Each structure stands twice: as structure tokens, then as C-alpha cells.
Structure 1
Amino acid sequence: MNPDIDVQGRRGEWPVPGDNAADRARKIAHMYRARLRALDADACDQADQVAANFGETWVTPTVVTVEDTDAVTTAEAAQLVNVSEDVIRQWACTPHPHNPDEPLLPRFGWRGKARTYLARHVRDAAGTVSQAKHRKAQLTRSS
């Protein structure tokens, strides 16, 4: 619940242009969850449990305690920035837009059989992709 975002000057315009349909749906779901929690915490806990039983753990907020210098697996990286593991793998094979000789997400090493990345690099890659989506959305709107 953010009063600055809840009220928009132009009807129907989403406040974060780079968000895709899933991003928007999750933000709306989080808004509903926050309002339900404010009105009835027990009902919110029950709804959270139902979502968790179906494997939808993204609904409930979690505290992330991953330092920038931590090595994270592909699965952990995906969870860290709320994308799929396939997206993490794609980022590792995509040239960085500002330095084409470097990957968007550099690989770091291995933890057993799992590929690892530095958490800072994962966050940086997510930020780069988000900024690119935002720029593209702005260009589309101004055309």
C-alpha cells in the first residue's frame, strides 16, 4: 500500500513501465495481501498457507540475507531476483549490453554439481535487464 502509487494521474497507466504481466500481477497480489493482513491477520495467515501448499512461496515476504560476495547456485540466484532458473542461464550466455566481450551474468564457479554466480553479479544483471525494459517501454510510449 503506497499512497503515491495507489493514485495515478492518468487512468489505466501502470506506474512501472518495465513490468511485465507477471510483475504487475504479483504487485497487485501483494497489495491485496497487505490490505488483508491489516484487516484480518488470521485470514491472511490461512491464505498464505494455502498458497504455500500449492508451492507459491513468493506470496509471503521473506528476509533475504545474501551478501554481495556470496556465491549462489542457479536456483538461489533465480529466487534472489524472482526469475526462473532458465532466465539465469540465459543471462550467463547473453553479452552485456555495455561490454559485449563480457557476459551479462558472469559465472563464478561450482558448488558440487551446481553452477554458481556472485550475488552482486546476479543483482547487477537483474538491474541491467530492468533498466533496459524501462528504456524500451519509454521509447514505445513516446513513439
Structure 2
Amino acid sequence: MTGDPWPWPTDTQLERARRVARSYREALESLNPGVCENIDRKVTEFGQEWIKPELDMAPEAWELLSARDLEVMVGVPASSVRAWAAKGRLTKRTSADGSPVYLVEEVRDLIAETGHRKR
């Protein structure tokens, strides 16, 4: 096989590992929520809070977030956010550190318009 088949080419090795871990977590949660909750509790004790989705995180409409943060906090794939920006449907802004950020309100409007949510 030629090329890298990974669908998110900008992911680091750590981001790839986290995506895989989250996929397994979602599968376990659907099959056995109690066991998943126990594992979530244990890994949180070890300082690995990233594994459990934060359902109560609701960013303000005026906030500027990275595509990754929008994926976690709003529920739209980061790849969709980047694609929308590339097509001119979102305004790509620049954070203080030079990385791209997007207005939460614009992203929410596009989600409502397209019905596009993370699986």
C-alpha cells in the first residue's frame, strides 16, 4: 500500500493514539457503560482526563477555538471545520500564537445548516 491511509493527515502520533483510544472507549461505553465509567474514573485518577468527553463544556458563541477544540466541545469533526474554512464558509482567524481559530457561533450556524455532527 502506498501513502498513509490515515484520514487526518495533520495528526501527530499522539493525536492518532488518542483517536484510536477514544474509538475503543466509545465502543466499550455502548456495550458496558459501567465498566467504561470505572476505567474513566481510574485513568482520570492518573491524570488522563482527555479520554472522557466533557459533555458539560459549552463554549460561548463569541469564543474563538481551534478545529480540535471545536471537535471536542461542539461535536463537529475538525476536518469539517478546516474544509468549511478552505471553502470560505467559515472565517479562519489567527490566535495570538499564530494558529488558526474559528468563531464558535459561525461553526454552530453551519452545523445547524448542514446537520453535520460527529458520529
| TM-score computed with the length of structure 2 as normaliser | 0.52
Matched, 1:77 2:70: yes
Q: What is the count of residue pairs matched by the alignment?
A: 89
Residues 89-100 of structure 1: pairs in structure 2 closer than 5 A: 89-94=82-87
Structure with the larger strand share = 1
In the alignment, structure 1 segments of 5+ residues that lack a partner are 1-25, 38-42, 95-102, 132-143
Q: Is the 8 A contact 2:93 2:101 kept in 1?
A: yes
Question: What's the CA shift for 1:29?
Answer: 6.5
Report percent identity of matched pairs.
Answer: 16
Distance 1:115 1:61, change over 3 A: closer
Q: Is the 8 A contact 2:62 2:104 kept in 1?
A: yes
2:18 paired residue number: none
- Cα RMSD (Å): 3.4
| TM-score computed with the length of structure 1 as normaliser | 0.45
Larger Rg, first or second structure (1 or 2):
1
Q: Whole-Å Cα distance in 2 between the matches of residues 61 and 77 of structure 1? A: 12
Q: Which has the higher contact order (CA 8 A, sep 6+)?
A: 1
In the alignment, structure 2 segments of 5+ residues that lack a partner are 1-25
Whichever residue aligns with residue 110 of structure 1, its letter is S
